[in-house]
Structure 1
Amino acid sequence: MSEAITRPAVEKTKKTKAAAGASPSLWTRIIRHRTSFLFLSPFFILFFIFTVVPVFTAVFLSMTYYNILEPPRWIGLTNYRNLFLDDDIFLKAIANTLMFAVFTGPIGYFMSFILAWLISQIPQKYRFLYTLCFYTPAITSSIAMSVVWLYLFSGDRYGLINYWLIKLGVLTEPFIWLQDVQTILPVIILVSLWMSMGTGFLAFLAGLANVPRDLYEAGVIDGVRYRWQELWYITLPSMKPMLLFGAVITVVNALQVSEISAQLAGSPSTLYAGHMILNHLDDYAFVRFDMGYASAIAVVLFLMMVGLNRFIFNILGERD
């Protein structure tokens, strides 16, 4: 009899403890932390309006024929089928963009970090000058491409590179750098690397400046003797968030390249040798006004970015 009475009581106690230990629901957490969510609400509202809604709108339009003048007409996955089975120029643009990203992504990323690390080793009063020198190309990109790089790679004998190569006897006649299919993409990669000291470079500088100095002092006590040992055992682990941020920015910039290609090689470039995914999107969106097809290109580009960023998060993100 006592066992029959005790068992339900024990089971009820276990259920009560389990319910108490269970995590509260989302709505409960929102009510509990309503002040915090109230302060975050402006960001959430703007993020939803200007990011979430456009993404879902693009996904919807990518499954329609929409030329701006007429209402969208549902066609299902036809745009995606045409992209990957009938559009050879789009496949060429994907190959060019990935080739561009393979070279400019890792090289630009490591260049940004190494230069930021070297600048952090010099006295404080000189850092601003060096930072300004390396960051200037990123904020004067259009002027630099028009004035400097187009002059350097001009296809006549007045172009600086042609002038010196002819003078040295390497060439007998001017070489058309920005119209030759073999040199268009390398020139675009070179100019992009020169302009790669952007937001990621500044993030690395900030991260290096915020590494606690006592960690280096503790490292000396533990046997760290060289700068490279400090970099590997102390600096890199301490600035993992900045490394992650710089990697994400690098991937986004590498996949969104279009302005450099259009200004240097034209749009479209010779035999589409410098044609990028974003150039293809601009062509269909703002020249042909086929917004449904352009939205399909945008969705593919978005999925590529999400996949690569997920890969980066798995490498540099914190497990906990």
Structure 2
Amino acid sequence: MLAPYLLLFVLFTVVPVAISLVISFTYFNMLEFPRWVGWHNYQQLFLEDDVFLIAIKNTFIFAVITGPLSYMACFLFAWLINGLQPKVRALFTLLFYAPSISGNIYFMWQLLFSGDSYGYINGFLMKLGVIVEPIQWLTDPKYILPIIILVQLWLSLGTSFLAFIAGLQNIDKTLFEAGAVDGVSNRWQELWYITLPAMRPMLMFGAVIQITSSFAVADVAINLAGFPSVNYAAHTIVTHLMDYGTVRFEMGYSSAIATVLFIMMITMNVLTQKLLRRIGE
């Protein structure tokens, strides 16, 4: 029964990752046959490519802020909404999930942070007398990163939120009755000793999704700050990968970037899963 999935997984995930790893040790420009260069691509990444170091810094800032905050927000909102009536719960679930499936979701933020006096935030601040001239929100390196982090947090209430809602709905109600008999006396004890341990698979799934999305930030930065952004203020590892892979077609170098990103994601996933295993102990 698992054979069809395993076949597709190996062909379209394991094999491409392995090929990318091999190509990362070569010079490959899509026109010539790959030429083996050993560790040269990795040495260039960390010792010569200043833009890549900026991308690593920005990516870690994204991941450290948006990852934990969005993860906790997804669970908190799911936990609060779960106690509502079914119709009200369905409405709030749609409202929270809608941003992640919307089409032109960046249009609203571009209007809010427009750099002229017609931008909503500039117009509001000028009307209050806080500023006398428009602020270039999306072209000033001082503001670009915080704005993109804000938008990413807004967009992050998606798949993990639905997974947590589903997990809360499927908890066996008899566990709470057994907990009351054993001395669980309030909602916080129920949360720590019953709800969270019963939701470990969903918590693991949500952690993987949030880590992946926080390290793979690209669309938000490109749509709001441009590609590339001013002074690379919103440059991330994925946008750096896109630059070398889809613009310059330096496939060996871009594969090295992808390998570094893959190792970072795997490491964070392993650490997060070790932390989640201790819940309820």
Q: How would you bin the TM-score normalised by the shorter chain?
A: over 0.9
Unaligned runs of 5+ in 1: 1-38
Shift of 1:228: 2.0
> 2:29 is matched with which residue: 67, 72, 79?
67
One-letter amino acid of the structure 2 residue matched with residue 118 of structure 1? L
Distance between the aligned counterparts of 2:96 and 2:276, measured in 1?
A: 26
Shift of 1:159: 0.4
- 1:100 — aligned with what? 62
Distance between the aligned counterparts of 1:242 and 1:144, measured in 2?
A: 27
Identity across matched positions, percent: 54
One-letter amino acid of the structure 1 residue matched with residue 54 of structure 2? K
**What does 1:288-303 correspond to in 2, within 5 Å?**
288-303=248-263
- 2:104 — aligned with what? 143
- 2:217 — aligned with what? 257
8 A contact 1:241–1:317 mirrored in 2: no
Shift of 1:318: 8.1
Aligned length: 279
> 2:169 is matched with which residue: 195, 209, 213?
209
- Match of 1:182, SS state, is helix
One-letter amino acid of the structure 2 residue matched with residue 242 of structure 1? M
- 1:47 — aligned with what? 9
- 2:135 — aligned with what? 175
Distance between the aligned counterparts of 1:271 and 1:315, measured in 2?
A: 37
Where relative contact order (Cα < 8 A, 6+ residues apart) is larger, the structure is 2
Distance between the aligned counterparts of 1:261 and 1:177, measured in 2?
A: 13
- 1:130 — aligned with what? 92
One-letter amino acid of the structure 2 residue matched with residue 256 of structure 1? A
Unaligned runs of 5+ in 2: none
- Match of 1:183, SS state, is helix
8 A contact 1:244–1:317 mirrored in 2: no
Distance between the aligned counterparts of 1:223 and 1:42, measured in 2?
A: 48
8 A contact 1:104–1:193 mirrored in 2: yes
- Match of 2:105, SS state, is helix
One-letter amino acid of the structure 1 residue matched with residue 224 of structure 2? L
1:190 correspondence with 2:150? yes
Q: CA deviation digits over 1:178-218, x for unaligned, max 9?
A: 11111111000000010111111111001100111111122
One-letter amino acid of the structure 2 residue matched with residue 229 of structure 1? Q
Question: What TM-score do the two structures reach when normalised by structure 1?
Answer: 0.85
Distance between the aligned counterparts of 1:82 and 1:125, measured in 2?
A: 56
- 1:239 — aligned with what? 199
- Match of 1:261, SS state, is helix
Q: Does the C-alpha gap of structure 1 residues 318 and 228 become closer, same or farther in structure 2, counting only changes over 3 Å?
A: closer
8 A contact 1:62–1:299 mirrored in 2: yes
1:285 correspondence with 2:245? yes
- 1:314 — aligned with what? 274
One-letter amino acid of the structure 2 residue matched with residue 128 of structure 1? A
- Match of 1:186, SS state, is helix
Distance between the aligned counterparts of 1:232 and 1:317, measured in 2?
A: 13
Shift of 1:238: 1.0
Quick check: 309-318 or 114-123, which moved more?
A: 309-318
Question: What TM-score do the two structures reach when normalised by structure 2?
Answer: 0.97
Distance between the aligned counterparts of 2:104 and 2:63, measured in 1?
A: 23
8 A contact 1:156–1:175 mirrored in 2: yes
Q: CA deviation digits over 1:92-128, x for unaligned, max 9?
A: 0000000010100000000000000011011122111
Distance between the aligned counterparts of 2:180 and 2:260, measured in 1?
A: 50
- 1:117 — aligned with what? 79
The alignment yields a C-alpha RMSD, in angstroms, of 1.3
